[in-house]
């Protein structure tokens, strides 16, 4: 392990394009497009540009749940391969100036409505189709609280723990310990809440469950970062119970396959334009 005490920060930080480990080629300290590339456009009102990462899965699960209850939420989904830098194409940056997936374009409005940030997309769709978002004020506030809790917590789980435990060029004890402690605290927050509730807000499943399941369900059930044993995720029995129930929902199974370009061939659905693409 490198002696971490040997590093002295410079007075003014400058970017070294060779640093950053696995994602060095796609990380940079500036915004904006790197190349001209128009986005494809399908036949449906909702155009999704995404990848089946936890943040992407949040949206495809909601869209499939909306379709499952009969809402007119048909959509076209196109893969944005972040490993190849697709998120820096000019067309994608027009929809999301932050160059992160997912991004949604609703062409049923005039002018078309762009929505970026996964939490904002969930709220937009839930309000548009009047589903999976409580209408009673206190329950609505509870839903938003858990949704935005996840949005604020995920950087510690993905950008912090995931980076230093799984992706950094070297294993450094201090950042791994720091972020492991925070992730376990987050799991405990969820576990205590779910000890008295079926879902995060009570008896009804909503967008806050979808958002949290995409990250914490993957952590306790799918072994992202190969960290299940390290974090002792099985000890958070209420989180495991909640995540297992959600995983069995047909719409969740469908949504997890959209824009997936890895894993067994039968699970991959790089593009989705019709329900039959998942059958």
pLDDT tens track, the chain, 279 positions: 444 568 899 999 998 876 666 776 678 899 999 999 999 999 999 999 999 999 999 999 999 999 999 999 999 999 999 999 999 999 999 999 999 999 999 999 999 999 999 999 999 999 999 999 999 999 999 999 999 999 999 999 999 999 999 999 899 999 999 999 999 999 999 999 999 999 999 999 999 999 999 999 999 999 899 999 999 999 999 999 999 999 999 999 999 999 999 999 999 999 999 999 999
Contacts of 72 (CB under 8 A, 6+ apart): 129
Whether the CB-CB separation of 72 and 220 falls below 8 Å is answered with no
Task: Pull the structure tokens for residue 90.
Answer: 């000019």
Task: Report how far residue 118's alpha carbon sits from residue 109's, in angstroms, rounded to the nearest whole number.
Answer: 20
Helix (H, G, I), strand (E, B) or coil at 269: strand
pLDDT of residue 100: 97
Strand spans (E) along 68-119: 75-79, 103-106, 113-116
Closest by CA position to 222, among listed 273, 199, 256: 256
Q: Are residues 124 and 191 in the same domain?
A: no
Count of domains forming the chain: 2
What CATH code is carried by the domain that includes residue 58?
3.40.30.10
pLDDT of residue 194: 98
Task: Report how far residue 106's alpha carbon sits from residue 31's, in angstroms, rounded to the nearest whole number.
Answer: 24
- Omega cis (within 30) before 111: yes
Q: Are residues 263 and 125 in the same domain?
A: yes
Domain of residue 82: give its range. Answer: 46-132+257-278
Q: Are residues 153 and 219 in the same domain?
A: yes
Q: Is residue 209 part of a domain?
A: yes
Q: Are residues 141 and 125 in the same domain?
A: no
Task: Pull the structure tokens for residue 255.
Answer: 């949504």
Task: Pull the structure tokens for residue 154.
Answer: 């995920």
Q: Are residues 157 and 238 in the same domain?
A: yes
Task: Report how far residue 272's alpha carbon sits from residue 74's, in angstroms, rounded to the nearest whole number.
Answer: 10
Model pTM score: 0.95
Q: Are residues 237 and 153 in the same domain?
A: yes
Taking the alpha carbons at both ends of the chain, their separation in whole angstroms is 48
Q: Are residues 121 and 153 in the same domain?
A: no
Q: Are residues 182 and 263 in the same domain?
A: no
Q: Is residue 27 part of a domain?
A: no
pLDDT of residue 1: 45
Q: Is residue 269 part of a domain?
A: yes
Q: Is residue 157 part of a domain?
A: yes
Helix (H, G, I), strand (E, B) or coil at 144: helix
Q: Are residues 148 and 237 in the same domain?
A: yes
Q: Are residues 173 and 96 in the same domain?
A: no
Task: Report how far residue 223's alpha carbon sits from residue 155's, in angstroms, rounded to the nearest whole number.
Answer: 18
């Amino acid at each position: 392990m490198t002696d971490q005490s040997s590093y002295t920060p410079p007075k003014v930080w400058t970017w070294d394009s060779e640093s950053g480990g696995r994602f060095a080629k796609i990380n940079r300290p500036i915004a904006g497009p790197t190349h001209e590339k128009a986005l494809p456009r399908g036949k449906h009102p909702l155009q999704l540009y995404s990848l089946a990462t936890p943040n992407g899965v949040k949206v495809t699960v909601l869209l499939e749940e909306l379709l499952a209850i009969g809402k007119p939420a048909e959509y076209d989904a196109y893969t944005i391969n972040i490993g190849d830098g697709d998120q820096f194409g000019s067309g994608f940056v027009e929809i999301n100036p932050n160059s992160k997936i997912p991004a949604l374009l609703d062409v049923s409005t005039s002018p078309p409505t762009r929505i970026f940030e996964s939490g904002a997309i969930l709220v937009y769709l839930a309000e548009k189709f009047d589903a999976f978002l409580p209408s009673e004020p206190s329950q609505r506030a509870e839903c938003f609280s858990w949704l935005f809790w996840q949005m604020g917590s995920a950087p510690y789980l993905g950008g912090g723990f995931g980076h230093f435990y799984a992706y950094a060029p070297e294993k450094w004890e201090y950042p791994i310990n720091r972020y492991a402690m925070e992730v376990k605290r987050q799991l405990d927050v969820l576990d205590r809440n779910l000890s008295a509730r079926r879902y995060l807000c009570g008896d009804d499943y909503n967008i806050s469950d979808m958002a949290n399941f995409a990250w914490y369900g993957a952590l306790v059930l799918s072994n992202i970062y190969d960290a299940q044993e390290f974090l002792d995720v099985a000890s958070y029995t209420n989180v495991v119970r909640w995540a297992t129930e959600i995983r069995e929902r047909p719409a969740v199974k469908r949504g997890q396959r959209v824009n997936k370009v890895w894993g067994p061939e039968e699970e991959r659905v790089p593009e989705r334009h019709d329900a039959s693409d998942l059958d």
